[in-house]
Structure 1
Amino acid sequence: MTRFLNRLIWGMAFVLFPKPGVHAQIAHNPIIYADVPDMSIIRVGDSYYMSSTTMHMSPGVPIMKSKDLVNWKIVSYAYDILDDTDDLNLNNDKNSYGKGSWASSLRYHNGMYYVSTFAGNTGKTYIYSTRDIEKGPWKALSFKPSLHDHSLFFDDDGKVYMVYGSGKIMLAQLKDDLSGIRPDIKPQVLIENASLVAGPNVGLPAEGSQLFKIKGKYYLFNICWPRGGMRTVLIHRADHIAGPYEGRLALQDKGVAQGGLVDAPDGRWFAYLFRDFGAVGRVPYLVSVQWDNGWPILGINHQAPDTIPLTINKPMMPGIISSDEFGRKPGERDLPLVWQWNHNPVNKLWSVKQPKGYLRLTTGRVDTNILTARNTLTQRTFGPECSAVTSIDVSGLKDGDRAGLALLQKKFGWVGVKAEGGKKFMVMVNAQGDSSIESPCIPLTQSRVYLKASCDFKDRTDKAYFYYSLDGRNWLPIGSALQMVYTLPHFMGYRFGLFNYATKTIGGYADFDFFRVSNNISSRN
């Protein structure tokens, strides 16, 4: 009881009377109210870097930077495309929804940055390295097999390992050049049943390994999910990398779990974790960490608080999600890093230079719906509510084309224009049921139209609404509300998507004038 009271008083004092020079503002969880799961975070000097999962999106494994652990900006990606395969290219009726690259491991060692990941659909483990994490270039290595939810680890003696597995956690030593597992050293069992410390009734066994070495001890973070319970943080520690390990349940609150540890320059420690948050996706949480007899104690009174004594969150997360007018100055990227393609793009079929100031999407094949269409350009949605507006010139559409603004997930919805029989129509498509339903068509007699999609994520409402406008000021609702649902086949929060696909003849194009996001869902804006 005395130890508990000391920790409680210390935590209250820290919030009320922070150290001189320490941020006195209060940040709110989730730190990022958007889909940024499976984080791995390092600190190099006074800068933090974070990698995350984006699976079937390209480019992939985003690298984000922060000075305060709260406000992040995408600065790089580990790769442009993960691999050149039918499923990653959306070819031959194959796709990589919910697959592609999963939980990454970000490390800094001897002046080099490393990020590793794995993909079940390719059966490979990937390691990317660079001396300049913000500008690259990245060197790529890959090998088989695919090591599930691994943690890349450089030990003090120069040996390099990967810790991986589900339930049974394994340790593999890598070759010195990181090109694969050492063939002369067989991977060994690190922990036979890492879920055991959470009790006997576990549904999802321990996974999501992240290994750290702090003051000579090894700390292994995992997640498990007891049946009838919630996502749970497990920590094991050992004096030697090969064990033996002793473990304990570290946090069981709100389902906040999976992640690891990071320290601040002023000596404070934090755990970075994430939480399933409905249709918006899996959102990052930070919790303070205190140390007790060599164990990290997560949260306040073993709970993940809604606030944390760090710099206040900037509204709308401009480094993660951003508006785009599609005008490019000389030397600027064709696409800002906030954008990702749904699967591998066909680069010859899109442009922000022809015509200047527009995003042009040109069709290159016939598709049946937006989930099979290539060259859908996406950004994250965000909470608690958000809207996206675009203006589109549809004069270049061919018969059978569909172009517009989507909310992308398995149960998708979109508003846009369809060209049919020499005419054009406004339409909304709702795929929340077993099949997609198209709203009654509204004849369109002009070449420019404005489209809007709004998302209400408050209190897990997860409703989306669609609108169109002929002048950009007066908005009219169209179709039905979309009940958004986070589905495991896609394993990703809803994304805004700009698209154009053909159902009859290729070569049609749609010109998007701008993409503007807002944290307001009023139909008047």
Structure 2
Amino acid sequence: MTLVDDASSYRNPIIDADVPDPDAIRVGDRFYLVASSFHRAPGLPIFVSDDLITWERIGYALEGSTPTAWFAQPRHGGGVWAPSIRHHDGLFHVVYPDPDQGVFVVTAADPAGPWSEPHLLLPGLGIIDPCPLWDEDGRTYLVHGWARSRAGRKNLVTVIPVDAGLRHPLGPAVDVIDGDRIEGCTTLEGPKFYKRDGEYWIFAPAGGVATGWQSVFRAPTPFGPYEHRITLAQGETEVNGPHQGAWVDDGRGGDWFLHFQDRGVYGRVLHLQPMAWAADGWPVMGAAVGGGDAQPVLRHPSPFGTTQGSRTLARPDDFAGGRPGGHWQWEANADPHAVVGTGPGMGLRASLDGGNVRTLARVLSQNLPGQPCSAQIEVALESSSPGDRAGIAVLGRDYAWAGVRRTDAGMEAVVAMRFRDDQSERVVATIPLTEPRIRVGVRLDADARVRFTLGTTSVDPQFTAVEGHWVGAALSLFSASPYGAPDAIGRFADFTIDVRER
């Protein structure tokens, strides 16, 4: 992997992969970040960094979404929306919304875990993007937005008093910012709550996921009245929708703003902007720190002078002990019986197959890198029933896959794809096999066009990867049987991936 060539600077995005709705804090001399996980499990990925530019995933704050039975199947677009992370009274708190249930809280003494079971702090439909603030006077507040799809209201920011343990509300909710009263303001959401120099600050994006901007609001009390400014927008750059994230001080007198950019099939990638406080008390971000426009920078001196490492989250896996590594997530709550814990490689029991990989529960995914990449994996199938199959998919709202399946005539390697309006999969290529295993390769170019290899045979399915529901596309492993055959097991070994970072 090629790294940044200038050791004194970093390049955006700092994580060129799906890190949706990031929030971050500094505790001591380390930085911690959390992101949305939507339908995938484990949820709420936790990252750590020593320098704000190179991040390592150290675990997850949520084993799986509740209720468990409901999330036993993929719930695309549901589950965990934009969370916040804070440290108070010796505990890390992650506060996250499920738009169909309300606001939950999990806590841990160590961000690597273990984390508590989720507690429902604020029940209700469409309550999203929560963030707590502990005030110096002992009072605690929660700010949140609204999803019209569930609540029938949006473009509003609401503050409600809660207890310091984040167990229950203590008073009525107050709408403190109405985006409809601000000229040009649409889809105001994702608020983060801060206090600085006696003033209350709400950092909130507006304008939509792919096209929005970052607004900042300040007031003398938690309930307003708030005035506002736009502090970051696309401007003349190619960074669309630079917004929704976290203000972090670096502990050495510097300030920074972490935010996402929606790159479609690659998801919401993570950027880092310089930030400073102007003489009038308002923050400035990006190029504005150096006197330019309030737009993103693509390269900037590193916060601590460190060298930037790899900007991808993609990881190989040898499936040690017959288990997947921590960089994989399930497309639904994990089934304890899904993984067969004996080798060779990892065995994955088949899901009941309705002919659509997007509906399968026993699917393991990792985020598609934001740059051209190639991956290889050995796929094998233990099967006695025609129709059983196993493979690797490029999975979004549309998908393509390559692997092994059993037919009435025996085993074959196959490439197939399915578009969202298709009634069934389209088979692109088949190759008879004398044994039920094959080395499968997948390659994506700079335009996310997909090619497969079945052994030494190259197959071009004429397929371009697309995003999922609120998430980027993924590289996914699956095993499926139309009969739910208990003896159908897909086996996967020696997963390698190479990313051409630029």
Taking structure 1 as the reference length, what is the TM-score of the superposition? 0.85
Deviation at 1:341, TM superposition (A): 0.6
Distance 1:79 1:418 in 2: 34
Deviation at 1:195, TM superposition (A): 5.8
Deviations 1:357-412 (A, max 9, x none): 51101125343221111211111111211122110222446321121001111111
In structure 2, which of residues 110, 117, 128 is the aligned counterpart of residue 132 of structure 1?
110
Matched with 2:158 is 170
2:379 touches 2:404 (CA, 8 Å); kept in 1? no
Q: Measured at CA, do residues 126 and 505 of structure 1 come closer, stay the same or move farther in structure 2, by a change above 3 Å?
A: closer
1:402 touches 1:416 (CA, 8 Å); kept in 2? yes
2:12 touches 2:298 (CA, 8 Å); kept in 1? yes
2:352 touches 2:481 (CA, 8 Å); kept in 1? yes
After TM superposition, list the pairs within 5 Å mapping 1:77-156 onto structure 2.
77-90=60-73, 95-121=74-100, 123-143=101-121, 144-146=123-125, 147-156=127-136
Deviation at 1:328, TM superposition (A): 3.4
Matched with 2:10 is 27
Q: Secondary structure at the residue paired with 2:295?
A: coil
1:211 touches 1:218 (CA, 8 Å); kept in 2? yes
2:54 touches 2:310 (CA, 8 Å); kept in 1? no
Q: Secondary structure at the residue paired with 2:136?
A: coil
Amino acid in structure 2 at the alignment position of 1:406? A
1:60 touches 1:81 (CA, 8 Å); kept in 2? yes
Deviation at 1:316, TM superposition (A): 5.3
Distance 2:324 2:413 in 1: 28
2:23 touches 2:33 (CA, 8 Å); kept in 1? yes
The alignment yields a C-alpha RMSD, in angstroms, of: 2.2
Matched with 1:248 is 229
2:140 touches 2:161 (CA, 8 Å); kept in 1? yes
Larger deviation: 399-408 or 147-156? 147-156
Matched with 1:345 is 334
Deviation at 1:433, TM superposition (A): 6.0
Distance 2:84 2:254 in 1: 22
Matched with 1:5 is none
Matched with 2:284 is 297
Matched with 2:314 is 321
1:276 aligns with 2:262: yes
In structure 2, which of residues 439, 463, 466 is the aligned counterpart of residue 450 of structure 1?
439
Q: Measured at CA, do residues 427 and 364 of structure 1 come closer, stay the same or move farther in structure 2, by a change above 3 Å?
A: closer
Deviation at 1:211, TM superposition (A): 1.1
Matched with 2:45 is 62
After TM superposition, list the pairs within 5 Å mapping 1:383-462 onto structure 2.
383-396=370-383, 398-432=385-419, 434-435=421-422, 436-456=425-445, 458=446, 461-462=447-448
Distance 1:440 1:393 in 2: 18
Deviation at 1:158, TM superposition (A): 2.0
Give the total of aligned pairs: 469
Amino acid in structure 2 at the alignment position of 1:337? G
Distance 1:396 1:164 in 2: 50
Distance 1:276 1:170 in 2: 25
Q: Measured at CA, do residues 37 and 349 of structure 1 come closer, stay the same or move farther in structure 2, by a change above 3 Å?
A: closer
Distance 2:138 2:384 in 1: 59
Q: Measured at CA, do residues 316 and 511 of structure 1 come closer, stay the same or move farther in structure 2, by a change above 3 Å?
A: farther
Amino acid in structure 2 at the alignment position of 1:118? P
Q: Secondary structure at the residue paired with 1:148?
A: strand
Deviations 1:249-271 (A, max 9, x none): 11111321111200112211111
After TM superposition, list the pairs within 5 Å mapping 1:199-210 onto structure 2.
199-200=183-184, 202=185, 204-210=186-192
Q: Measured at CA, do residues 306 and 177 of structure 1 come closer, stay the same or move farther in structure 2, by a change above 3 Å?
A: closer
Q: Measured at CA, do residues 364 and 288 of structure 1 come closer, stay the same or move farther in structure 2, by a change above 3 Å?
A: closer
Deviations 1:173-197 (A, max 9, x none): 1134422222xx2111212x23655
2:103 touches 2:130 (CA, 8 Å); kept in 1? no
Amino acid in structure 1 at the alignment position of 2:245? G
1:206 touches 1:222 (CA, 8 Å); kept in 2? yes
Deviation at 1:124, TM superposition (A): 2.4
Matched with 2:216 is 235
Structure 2: 5+ residue runs without aligned partners? 1-5, 146-153, 235-239
Distance 2:243 2:466 in 1: 21
Distance 2:475 2:97 in 1: 26
Identity of aligned residues (%): 26
Matched with 2:203 is 221
Deviations 1:80-137 (A, max 9, x none): 11113554111xxxx410111100010001211000101123x121100111111324
Q: Measured at CA, do residues 226 and 112 of structure 1 come closer, stay the same or move farther in structure 2, by a change above 3 Å?
A: closer
Q: Measured at CA, do residues 232 and 343 of structure 1 come closer, stay the same or move farther in structure 2, by a change above 3 Å?
A: same
In structure 2, which of residues 234, 243, 250 is the aligned counterpart of residue 257 of structure 1?
243
Matched with 2:179 is 194
Structure 1: 5+ residue runs without aligned partners? 1-22, 470-474
Distance 1:433 1:371 in 2: 10
Q: Secondary structure at the residue paired with 2:128?
A: coil
Q: Measured at CA, do residues 54 and 491 of structure 1 come closer, stay the same or move farther in structure 2, by a change above 3 Å?
A: same
Matched with 2:149 is none
In structure 2, which of residues 337, 349, 354 is the aligned counterpart of residue 367 of structure 1?
354
2:317 touches 2:324 (CA, 8 Å); kept in 1? no
Q: Measured at CA, do residues 268 and 358 of structure 1 come closer, stay the same or move farther in structure 2, by a change above 3 Å?
A: same
1:58 touches 1:344 (CA, 8 Å); kept in 2? yes
Amino acid in structure 1 at the alignment position of 2:318? E
1:432 touches 1:482 (CA, 8 Å); kept in 2? no
2:12 touches 2:272 (CA, 8 Å); kept in 1? yes
Q: Secondary structure at the residue paired with 2:265?
A: helix
Matched with 2:274 is 288
Matched with 1:468 is 454
Q: Secondary structure at the residue paired with 1:242?
A: coil
Deviation at 1:139, TM superposition (A): 4.2
Amino acid in structure 2 at the alignment position of 1:497? S
Deviations 1:423-466 (A, max 9, x none): 1111112224631321132211123201112222x3xx222222
Deviations 1:442-498 (A, max 9, x none): 211123201112222x3xx222222211xxxxx3222513222225xx111111111
After TM superposition, list the pairs within 5 Å mapping 1:3-82 onto structure 2.
25-82=8-65
Deviation at 1:520, TM superposition (A): 4.6
Q: Secondary structure at the residue paired with 2:337?
A: helix
Distance 2:361 2:474 in 1: 15
Deviation at 1:66, TM superposition (A): 0.6
Matched with 1:307 is 299
